[in-house]
Structure 1
Amino acid sequence: MARTIAEIKESITTDFMRNEDVAALYGFAPGDAFTTHFSRVSIENLFFYIVACATWVLEQLFDRHRTDIENRIDTIMPHRPKWYRDKTLAFMQNRLLLPDTDRYDTAGMDENEIEAARVVKFAAAMENTDSSLLTIKVAGEKEGVRQPLDADTEKQLAAYIAETKDAGVRINLVNRSADIFHCKVDIYYDPILLSEEVENRCREAIRNYVENLPFNGEYTHMALVDELQKVEGTRIVELISASAEGSDDSVPIVIDTRFTPSAGYFTAGEIILNMQSYK
């Protein structure tokens, strides 16, 4: 990153004042402050300022050259899945790309307008090494709840991805309703508390956990049990079963230890809690 003119001039004058030969010639002690012996209109000060300006221009040119080279490298190198995720999040509804680019013209738009146009609020990209297929999962958001994009927006997004992707990359765009999470749990609770109160808190803990996982994050039995053990009044938690039901699944899928939702996110479904007093 280029230095400021003041920083460059400070570096020059510091080295100048530290030079013992220069100090002997001008009659000052090595290391003195430059401004102590030279005024703002002195030949030395003006000369160093001109040199600092020229150096600043040169450093600016080097910075721009480096940026240009990095941009050129980005355009010729295949991109990683993270690039596709970020590019998908940059999609803007009902906006055209600049000709022959993968960027939008946002001139005249304020931050609120830009944010409103970026309707893809969640995205994840992962490559299937067996089929050489890049899967991109997406979701929008309404009132803080994840939800699929509408059909028209999905078509726009698919066209945008086709326009911006690397040549030869096969894309599988996933825009689905949330996978439905079901579970059955035995809860042994402290009898000093009401069963209904502990049950409601446990039910809310399950819902909060599965519905607030990171987008395309992994569910685990261990993490769910950990969340339930934090609930006041629970003494023992035994997970009996758990399953997930995707929008394309004919029957729920039994979860064995861990599971990543096919849509990228969950919504809580049938939660059966068997409340038993701990004695």
Structure 2
Amino acid sequence: MARSIANIQTDIIEALRADDTLKNSLTEITSTSKTSISRLITFVVATAIGVLEALFDQHKKEVDDKLANQKSGTLPWYRTMALRFQYGYDLVADEDYFDNQDHTTAQIEASKIVKYAAVNEAEESSRVIIKIAGESAGILAPINDDQREGFEAYIDEIKVAGVKVTVLNYKPDRLYLNILIKRNAMILDSSGMDKDTAKYPVKEAIQEFMKELPFDGDLRLSALVDKLQKVEGVLDATIVGAQSAWVDAAGPVDADGYSTPPQDIYISTIPKSGYFEIATFDNISYVV
């Protein structure tokens, strides 16, 4: 791990002080003045060493990431391979990559329909779980049935022999939020509209928060409150209640196939599908 420039400079100075020959020839080495020549020289050298150590750290990280993704059968490898899937293309015989001859870069990129992927091991059995999602008009969405069929055939072809893999290509988990906002009446009206711009900054902040949430990431209610409290016109924010529902064929479901009733979220939760959609913004109340 790279040291700070200050720590490196201190190490250099201590080493110089410990050397009797250098200590006698560099009389200014004991000076505490930041403008002394010896201090300036050690600072320049320390800065160069600090930059080099930071570069070494970055290089090591890049090498470690490449090794993790190149090693067949690891969870990062499955995620990398999921994102490399190309719909409508065939694999090169006996290989795990696609035949892209006679195709343009634009065509190749357009065929990569899996935009998001997360891979975990099942807790109750020896199985790899791959969560995926595509995009529709810039919004996360499941890929269609034909695309999923092709993706599952691709995974069956490249996976490690004997490993069971389950692909989750669900509709987004529904997030129900009951939020109480204490508003600045000079900025926001009783419906949450900004009196100057006619926009709804609290709704926009929630939508922005959901976009910033990593795929298959942990939704923390405290982080959402922090986000809301930074909105202009919001004096305070409280999440009175939060629930989520997800596609669950095993239990009771509603007409859209979602688990019912929605389950309470107390501190945080990870979406079963890997991502959320806000079910409604009607449960945001504004008080003064």
TM-score by length of 1: 0.69
Letter in 2 for 1:244: S
Map of 1:197 onto structure 2? 193
**Structure 1, unpaired ranges of 5+:** 1-69
Letter in 1 for 2:270: T
Task: Please list the CA deviations of residues 96-152 of structure 1 after superposition, one character each: whole Å capped at 9, or x if unmatched.
Answer: 111111111112222101101111111111112431211100111122111111001
Write the distance in 2 (CA, Å) between the matches of 1:159 and 1:253.
34
Task: Please list the CA deviations of residues 191-219 of structure 1 after superposition, one character each: whole Å capped at 9, or x if unmatched.
Answer: 22232325921122112212442111111
Matched, 1:88 2:98: no
Superposition deviation, residue 168 in structure 1: 1.4
Map of 2:285 onto structure 1? 274
Task: Please list the CA deviations of residues 32-83 of structure 1 after superposition, one character each: whole Å capped at 9, or x if unmatched.
Answer: xxxxxxxxxxxxxxxxxxxxxxxxxxxxxxxxxxxxxx99xx6xx6521110
- Which of 126, 129, 133 is the aligned partner of 1:132? 126
Letter in 1 for 2:124: D
Letter in 1 for 2:265: I
Q: Among the aligned pairs, what percent are the same residue?
A: 31
Alpha carbons 1:211, 1:265 under 8 Å: kept: no
Map of 1:98 onto structure 2? 92
Matched, 1:172 2:182: no
Letter in 1 for 2:188: L
Please, what is the CA RMSD of the aligned residues? 1.9
SS in 1 for 2:279: strand
Matched, 1:143 2:137: yes
- Name the count of aligned residue pairs: 204
**Structure 2, unpaired ranges of 5+:** 1-65, 249-258
Alpha carbons 1:211, 1:267 under 8 Å: kept: no
TM-score by length of 2: 0.67
Map of 1:25 onto structure 2? none
SS in 2 for 1:181: strand
Map of 1:161 onto structure 2? 155
Letter in 2 for 1:204: E
Moved over 6 A (4+): none
Matched, 1:244 2:244: yes
Map of 1:213 onto structure 2? 213
Question: Higher mean Cα deviation, 170-179 or 267-276?
Answer: 267-276
Superposition deviation, residue 226 in structure 1: 0.8
Write the distance in 2 (CA, Å) between the matches of 1:211 and 1:222.
17
Map of 1:185 onto structure 2? 179
Letter in 2 for 1:185: I
* Pair 150,267 (structure 1): closer, same or farther in 2 beyond 3 Å: same
